[in-house]
């Protein structure tokens, strides 16, 4: 019975930690985006996805972003007009197109990433002690280990 109580208590502690992490990481990401001037929007999220995934069709992009095909067409039309993406013929489907980031699109995603990293660096330097930064440094590989779990893992 004691072992069962300990297991229930341990599971409860894990659940509380999981919820605390979910909450603070979400707040952290929103705070960094807002304070660095790189808010999350369809424009930025689409460019960031294309940078990670490489060229994809509008249908695949809409599916990955969880939006309707027509909504993604509007976003990609705006990005194309701004010179941030190109629609190039899909070599596997001659009727379709793949969305590619242009050099300007890559530069925009890199600039947003640099702005966020710079804001975080300034916040670390002005807010945390050397010892606190060491603790945070130790947490990075642990968070990466969780983030790198396979889908559904």
Backbone angles phi, psi at 55, to 5 degrees: -60, 130
pLDDT bin (cut points 50, 70, 90) of residue 138 is very high
Averaged pLDDT, 104-110: 95
Mean of per-residue pLDDT scores for the chain = 91
DSSP bridge pairs for 90:
93
- pLDDT tens, position by position, 52-78: 999 999 999 999 989 999 999 999 999
Which of 85, 79, 64 is CA-nearest to residue 151?
64
- Scan for tokens 């889908």, then name that residue: 151
β-bridge mates for residue 99, sequence order: 56, 87
Question: Cα(29)–Cα(16) distance, rounded to whole angstroms?
Answer: 20
pLDDT score of 153: 57
């Amino acid at each position: 019975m004691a072992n069962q109580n300990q297991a229930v208590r341990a599971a409860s502690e894990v659940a509380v930690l999981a919820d605390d992490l979910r909450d603070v990481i979400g707040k952290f990401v929103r705070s960094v985006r807002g304070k660095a001037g790189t808010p999350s929007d369809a424009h930025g999220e689409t460019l960031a996805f294309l940078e990670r995934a490489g060229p994809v069709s509008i249908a695949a992009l809409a599916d990955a972003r969880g939006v309707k095909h027509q909504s993604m067409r509007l976003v990609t039309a705006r990005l194309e007009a701004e010179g941030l993406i190109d629609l190039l013929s899909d070599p596997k489907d001659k009727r379709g197109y793949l969305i590619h980031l242009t050099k300007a699109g890559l530069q925009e995603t890199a600039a947003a990433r640099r702005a966020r990293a710079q804001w975080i660096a300034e916040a670390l330097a002005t807010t945390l002690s050397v010892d606190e930064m060491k603790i945070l440094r130790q947490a990075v590989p642990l968070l990466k280990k969780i983030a790198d779990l396979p889908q559904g893992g």
